[in-house]
A and B are shown apart, each in its own frame.
Chain A
Amino acid sequence: MSRPVAISERGRGQSHALEIADVSKRFSVAGRQVQALSHIHLAVDKGEFVSIVGASGCGKSTLLRLVLGLDTDYDGDIRVDGQRVERPGLDRSIVFQEHRLLPWLNVEANVAAALRQSRLGAAERGELVRDHLHLVGLDQFAKAYPAQLSGGMAQRVAIARALVTKPRFLLLDEPLGALDALTRLRLQDELQRIVRHEGTTAVLVTHDVDEAVYLGDRIVIMHPHPGRIATILPVTEAVSRDRSDPNFIRLRDEVLSWLGVARTGNDADAELARRSA
């Protein structure tokens, strides 16, 4: 997995896979202007896994919508391989927090729905669908309906649907946020394995700091009102992918302190205990 490369180290003229340059976005809510994003700069390299963390309302999901091309009304520039994003395209896939599977289609048909616009023949499409169901470990459930699946399984199908088009970018909008803690841990490993296997560039939006550190090559920390990037922390090789490793915990605490949660869990518990005594 490629490690972060500072922007200045790159040669001039060589474009990043994804380049977000001075992007601002305003909404009008009940007649009042709300600044959702303010002067966002972010460059993502091919094959990189970027985590974006921040409190709710910091505009992280809005940023994903802009990258997807669902909303083109913003200031600044978003470029994929130097091309300005004008509309949604199959080179960018997304997994939402809710699986958004169509309940009237079975698992296979849900994944195949992403290939409606592809030029491939029926046999090739079928093979792609089978491969990706295998990738997420659901070969046995091709004919099942979403209502018959658990939350974790449904989200795996959503991941298969997002990857079946072989996108260059996988955008993840709190994809594991609605799952129980155990399933979430299991799917984090799976997500890491799958993204590596496919060689996709990934941008993950999450409010789970552990998840951000565990999965990201870089961690973008955003602050709200207006939504802006506070800092970008690299996840160095020294931070092993072990949640109880001291380096992992140190980095996690650093992220937490950037988010305004200075104390670690134990200290906070002690504080609570003292106050209630």
Chain B
Amino acid sequence: MSLIAIAGRERLSHIAPPPLRFIGRHLRPLAVPIALLVIWELLARAGAADPRFLPSLEEVVARGVAEFSRGGLGFNLLASLERDLIGFVCGSVAGIALGLAIGFSRLIERLLGPVLLVHRQIALFAWVPLISMWFGGGEAGKIVFIALAAFQPTLINTWQGVSGIPRSYRELADVLTFSWFDFARIIALPGALPQIFTGLHAALIYAWTATVGAELLLNIAPGIGGRMNEGQHLFHMDLLLLCVLLLGGVGVVFNVIAGSLERRLLRWRIP
């Protein structure tokens, strides 16, 4: 069904006037998600699925309207985003700082490199029990967990970005008699920037995943994860599905923002 829709739109884009062509091009990425929603709705309506386990799209939308108008879910979403942002900033600042230190200093690289490579092998969620013992299951524990999630990709990417500066650029810095500071400011930092952004981009997604993980696994608190716990225990499938859609939506928004920032700041890469 979606295939036919895409093919039809494609043909349309060749003969259609510019505005239609524009819409056609921008709607194409949405074709499959929309098709999935339609299939969901059809299944629910045809009675093919038990409505207790798969509520119809209308029910979920109605739930969403009610939740947001009463302010319940909006408040929870803001609570999750705040937690996510604090953890992301703490973790990625630490990751970039340590990554730069390791990238610049052979000594620090030799001292910390092996430890960090081992640390990388440990699944993120394996830290949950430890963190809840050390920092408690409250707000502090959650933020530490989110920060840890953001820390890893920024650290690894910053480190690799700086140590990946080509030898020829280091030689150029020698020939131009650059000071260490000039080398860092003019060559190493801008050279590592694309990779630092890659790390930040990944950290943004990891942190958001960890936010929900922390809310589900640690103490119940206001947040999307908290509402999902509630949905699970009270058997509110519409609330659960609404939360899942919301998580995906926020993730997509993060991706778009990060992508456009990256393009703007790294303009020199595009001829």
Q: Do A and B come from one complex?
A: yes
- A148 touching B177, Cβ below 8 Å: no
Partner of A102, one of B171, B179, B190, B266: B190
CB distance from B179 to the nearest CB of A (A): 7
CB distance from B111 to the nearest CB of A (A): 28
Report if B174 contacts A (CB, 8 A): yes
Given contacts A147-B270, A148-B271, contact A90 B177 (CB under 8 A): yes
Report if B82 contacts A (CB, 8 A): no
Tell me the interface secondary structure of chain A in the complex: loop
- B169 touching A100, Cβ below 8 Å: yes
Report if A114 contacts B (CB, 8 A): yes
**Within the assembled complex, what's the spacing in Å between the Cα atoms of A106 and B182?**
17
Report if B176 contacts A (CB, 8 A): yes
- A113 touching B175, Cβ below 8 Å: no
**Within the assembled complex, what's the spacing in Å between the Cα atoms of A90 and B175?**
8
Q: Which residue of A lies closest to B182 (CB)?
A: A116
Report if B264 contacts A (CB, 8 A): no
Tell me the interface secondary structure of chain B in the complex: helix
- B191 touching A104, Cβ below 8 Å: yes
- B186 touching A116, Cβ below 8 Å: yes
- A68 touching B175, Cβ below 8 Å: yes
Q: Which residue of B lies closest to A70 (CB)?
A: B174
Report if A254 contacts B (CB, 8 A): no
Given contacts A145-B268, A147-B269, A147-B271, contact A100 B176 (CB under 8 A): no
Contact mask B242-271 → A, CB, 8 Å, 1/0?
A: 000000000000000000000000111111
Which A residues are within 8 Å of any B CB, using their own CB?
Answer: 68, 70, 87-90, 93-94, 96, 98, 100, 102-106, 113-114, 116-117, 145, 147-148
List 21 A-B pairs, Cβ < 8 Å. Answer: A70-B171, A87-B177, A88-B174, A88-B175, A90-B177, A94-B175, A100-B168, A104-B190, A104-B268, A105-B186, A105-B190, A105-B268, A113-B176, A116-B179, A116-B182, A117-B177, A145-B267, A145-B271, A147-B269, A147-B270, A148-B271
